[in-house]
Amino acid sequence: MAQQETRRGRIWWWVLASVVVCVALVVYIRSRRNIVHITIAQVERQDLVSTLSTNGKVEPTEDFEPRAPMPTSVERVYIRLNQNVYQGQELMLLDDSDARKQLAAGLATLATAQATLHNMQAGGTGDELATQSGEMSDAQNQLRISQQALDSLQKLQAQGAASPSEVASAQHRVDAAHAKISELQTRKASRYNSSDLEAQHALVTQAQAEVSAARSALSGVNVRAPFAGTIYSLPVLPLASVNANDVLLGEADLKHLLVHAYFDEPEIGKLANGQAVKIVWNAKPNLAWQGHIVQAPTSIIEYGGTRNVGECLISIDDNNGDLLPNTNVTATVTLQQRYNVLSLPREALHTDGAKNFVYRVVDERLYKTAITPGAVNLTRFEVVSGLNDGDTVALSTAGDAEMKDGLRVKTMQP
C-alpha cells in the first residue's frame, strides 16, 4: 500500500514537472514571436560627397565646319585627321570650274539688268532717245515755220491781202505743231511708270544677290583655317564628289571645350557657378575630364519632347585633345563635400513632418531618437547631432513588421 502511494506521488510530480515545462515552453515561444528581426548599421565617420548627374553634349568654343558651296568635286586635300593646323593654312581645294561659270553668268545678268534700269530711268535706249530727239526737233521746227506763216498772214489780213480762211488754216497748223510737241513730251515722260521701275529695280537686286552668291561660292572652293586648331573630322577624300551643303571637314580648338548639360527642372536650384564637374565619355570609359560650371541655368526649356530642363554651361579644364566635339557625355556635378563626418545609410532616416529621427538599438530594443541631418548624397546622410560614433541604428525589419519605440529586436546582417 505504501509503495503504491509512493508511485502515485512520483507520477504526480512528473505530471506537474511536465506541465511546468510546457508552460515555460509556451511562454518562451510567445516571447520569441514578439521579437522582430532587423538589419542594422553603425554610425561611422566618412567623407560625404553629394553629386548630381545628367547628360550633356560637347561643343568647342571655336568650331569650323565648312560646307560645299555647290555640287562639285574635291580636287585636293592638304591635311589629315587629328592634324594641328595654323591660322590661314590651306586645308582643301574644290573644283572651281562651275563656280567660275556661275559668276560669269551672274555678272552678265547683272550688267543687262542695270543697263535696262538706266534706260528706263532715262526714258529709253540710246537709239530710242535719238529717235525721240529727232522727232522733237522736227516738231519744234514745224512749230516755228507754222508760227512764222501765221504771223505773216495775220499782217496781210490786216492789210486786206489775206482771207480769214487762210489765217484759220495757218492757225490750225500751229495748233497741230503744239499738239505734236506735247504728245512727244508725254510719251517720253510716261513710257515707264513707277511699277515698271520697281520691277526692274527688283531684277537688279536679284542679279546682285546671285553675283554675291557666286563670288562666295568661288571663295569657298579654297578652304583655309580661320584659326589655329585641330582637324577632328575629315569625311571627304580627294576626287570625291560632294553635294551642296555637305560638310567638308571639322576643325576646333580642342583645348577649349564647353559641355551643354541638361538638368531636370526640380534639380536646377542646386546648381551654382564654379561647382566642380566630372565629365565621362562612354567611348573612352577609362578617362575622365574635370571642369566647372561657368553658367548655371537661367531658364527652363523643353528637351527631347519629354523633359523640362535647365541648360547649364560647363567649361572643361584639362582636355588635351582626347575629348572630341559633338560627343554625348555624362556630367556629374559635385554639389557638396563633407570630410570625416558622422554618417548613416539613407534608409535609417525617418521623418514626421519637420521632425527627423532614427531607431537606435540598445540591448536588443529600439529607441526612437531625434537627430539633425546634414548633407545628403544618393546613399548616405550626415548626422549633425543626436548620435555618437559607433551607435547602432536599425535600417529595416524582416517581413512587414513596423518599427516602434521599445520594440524587442534581433539583429541580422543587412
Which of 204, 236, 265 terminates a domain? The answer is 204
Same domain, 84 and 135: no
Same domain, 319 and 307: yes
Output the domain CATH number for residue 87.
2.40.50.100
Residue 215 domain-assigned?
A: no
pLDDT in tens, the chain (414 residues): 555 556 666 666 666 666 555 544 544 444 445 689 999 999 999 999 888 999 999 999 889 999 998 899 999 999 999 999 999 999 999 988 887 888 888 888 888 888 888 877 776 665 665 666 667 677 778 878 878 877 887 887 777 777 888 778 878 887 887 777 777 676 666 566 778 778 888 998 998 998 888 887 777 788 999 999 999 999 999 999 999 999 999 999 988 899 999 999 999 999 999 999 999 999 999 999 999 999 999 999 998 888 999 999 999 998 887 888 999 999 999 998 889 999 999 999 999 999 999 999 999 999 999 999 988 888 999 999 999 999 999 999 987 788 999 999 998 755
SS in 3 state form for the chain?
Answer: CHHHHHHHHHHHHHHHHHHHHHHHHHHHHHHHHCCEEEEEEECEEEEEEEEEEEEEEEEECCEECCECCCCEEEEEECCCCCCEECCCCEEEEECCHHHHHHHHHHHHHHHHHHHHHHHHHHCCCHHHHHHHHHHHHHHHHHHHHHHHHHHHHHHHHHCCCCCHHHHHHHHHHHHHHHHHHHHHHHHHHHCCCHHHHHHHHHHHHHHHHHHHHHHHHHHCCEEECCCCEEEEECCCCCCCEECCCCECCEEECCCCEEEEEEEEHHHHHHCCCCCEEEEECCCCCCCCEEEEEEECCCCEEEECCCEEEEEEEEEECCCCCCCCCCCEEEEEEEEEEEEEEEEEEHHHCEEECCEEEEEEEECCEEEEEECEEEEECCCEEEEEECCCCCCEEEEEECCCCCCCCCCEEEEECC
Structural domain range at position 229: 65-95+221-250
Same domain, 334 and 407: no
Same domain, 231 and 86: yes
Which of 140, 170, 204 terminates a domain? The answer is 204
Same domain, 111 and 200: yes
Work out how many domains the chain is built from and give that number: 5
